[in-house]
């Protein structure tokens, strides 16, 4: 039988094409299956962003079972646990991530977030510091290290980290505002003013920031700009606090007419605001009405027994009016409060250098209580517990405050 050469080639050609087609099908199936895990991962990320947690675990099953996507899927599972307010459920996935793999540093970051969520800022700070050491341009790592440091009472480190945040992410108004608050607490007024102004430049709709800026401007003697800021936040912040700063502006400029008008209006609307009453007392003293000033200061000190400036001023007036005994009591009490404040400031600096010293933080909390600053005392007791969860002084001090 004679077979034509073309037929042989045709038969081999079909066989060859069949093999190519089979390989192509296998390749397509392989690519599709490999891409399926990636597609599930993308969908899971979108569900996490939308807060659709019910459907999310189903989309994570395949990526977690696929080596190429496993660590990324575990990170999403941990982030979901934190977003749901269940940080304990984030621990397992984070611990399962390859410590030598490309997602290891991401896992460190989320371990820090998890520890911060369960009230362990000291351990959290260690993880965040590891992240910034490896990735110095990671603004989020600096941001969260600042938060952990703040919770520990280490405001110096917090300020350093916030400066890094504003350098790396200069369009974050919250970072600028927080930095301004810390600078204001340190009486570093010019940088505080600049930080407040940048925060408002980025987000003008921040009335409390305008109030804080106005206080800084008034202390700096920039009364016109302070008044402008106070006008812009009128009706959007506590009115007594706003009027107190405005009264300080009027008094500093010697504008007695405006000051008297403001005090008369405020006495009806804010009769028990210690700051406004103190401004009224100073106005009376400026006009030589000592008895009226003392009476107003009496009211101030009843409302705020820890206002050292008012106690000191009343002591001087009592001395001038012949009340030597009352003057001595006031001046001694004022000196005691000032000394306590100075000691607290000194210990604050010491605490920044010793983030693991719980006893030091308990001491600061006690000083805060002696100054009538209960909220600040609670902060320092919590900072002590962050360093030592079993510290009895911090536990009892915090319990006493919460029971008041």
Indicate whether 291 pLDDT > 50.
yes
Residue 376 to residues 90, 263, 366, 383, 386, Cα–Cα distance (Å): 31, 30, 10, 10, 15
The confidence band for 213, taking pLDDT boundaries of 50, 70 and 90, is: very high
Q: Is the dihedral of CA 329, 334, 337, 338 positive or negative?
A: negative
Indicate whether 26 pLDDT > 50.
no
Indicate whether 8 pLDDT > 60.
no
pLDDT, tens digit, for every residue of 144-154? Answer: 999 999 998 88
| Rounded CA separation 153/358 (Å) | 11
* Contact (Cβ atoms closer than 8 angstroms) between residue 271 and residue 252: no
Average pLDDT, stretch 70-97? 95
List Cβ neighbours of 56 (8 Å cut-off, separation of 6 or more): 44, 47, 48, 76, 80
Average pLDDT, stretch 123-139? 96
* Contact (Cβ atoms closer than 8 angstroms) between residue 389 and residue 115: no
∠ CA(51), CA(52), CA(57), 5° rounding?
Answer: 120
pTM to 2 decimal places: 0.84
Indicate whether 29 pLDDT > 80.
no
pLDDT, tens digit, for every residue of 236-267? Answer: 999 999 999 999 999 999 999 999 999 999 98
Average pLDDT, the chain: 91
Average pLDDT, stretch 18-38? 58
Average pLDDT, stretch 192-214? 98
């Amino acid at each position: 039988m004679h077979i034509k050469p073309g037929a042989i080639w045709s038969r081999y050609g079909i066989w060859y094409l069949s093999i190519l087609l089979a390989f192509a099908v296998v390749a397509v199936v392989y690519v599709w299956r490999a891409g399926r895990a990636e597609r599930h991962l993308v969908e899971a990320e979108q569900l996490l962003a939308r807060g659709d947690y019910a459907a999310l675990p189903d989309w994570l099953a395949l990526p977690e079972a696929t080596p190429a996507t496993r660590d990324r899927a575990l990170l999403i599972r941990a982030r979901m646990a934190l977003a749901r307010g269940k940080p304990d459920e984030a621990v397992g996935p984070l611990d399962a991530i390859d410590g030598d793999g490309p997602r290891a540093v991401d896992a460190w970051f989320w371990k820090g977030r998890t520890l911060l969520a369960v009230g362990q800022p000291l351990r959290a700070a260690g993880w965040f510091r590891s992240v910034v050491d490896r990735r110095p341009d990671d603004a989020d790592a600096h941001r969260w290290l600042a938060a952990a440091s703040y919770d520990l009472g280490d405001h110096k480190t917090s300020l350093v980290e916030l400066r890094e945040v504003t350098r790396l992410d200069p369009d974050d108004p919250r970072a600028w505002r927080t930095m301004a608050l810390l600078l204001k607490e340190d009486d570093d007024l010019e940088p505080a003013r600049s930080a407040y102004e940048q925060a408002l430049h980025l987000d003008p709709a921040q009335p409390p920031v305008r109030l804080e800026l106005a206080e800084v401007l008034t202390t700096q003697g920039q009364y016109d700009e302070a008044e402008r800021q106070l006008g812009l936040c009128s009706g959007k912040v506590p009115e007594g606090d706003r009027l107190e700063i405005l009264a300080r502006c009027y008094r500093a400029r010697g504008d007695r007419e405006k000051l008297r008008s403001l005090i008369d209006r405020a006495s009806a609307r804010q009769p028990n605001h210690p700051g406004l009453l103190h401004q009224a007392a100073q106005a009376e003293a400026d006009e030589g009405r000592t008895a009226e000033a003392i009476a107003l200061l009496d009211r101030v000190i009843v409302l705020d027994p820890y206002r050292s400036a008012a106690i000191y001023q009343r002591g001087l007036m009592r001395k001038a009016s012949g009340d030597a005994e009352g003057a001595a009591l006031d001046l001694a009490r004022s000196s005691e409060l000032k000394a306590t404040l100075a000691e607290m400031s000194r210990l604050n600096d010491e605490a920044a250098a010793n983030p693991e010293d719980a006893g030091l933080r308990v001491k600061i909390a006690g000083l805060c209580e002696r100054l009538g600053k209960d909220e600040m005392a609670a902060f320092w007791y919590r900072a002590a517990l962050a360093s030592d969860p079993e510290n009895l002084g911090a536990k009892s001090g915090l319990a006493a405050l919460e029971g008041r």
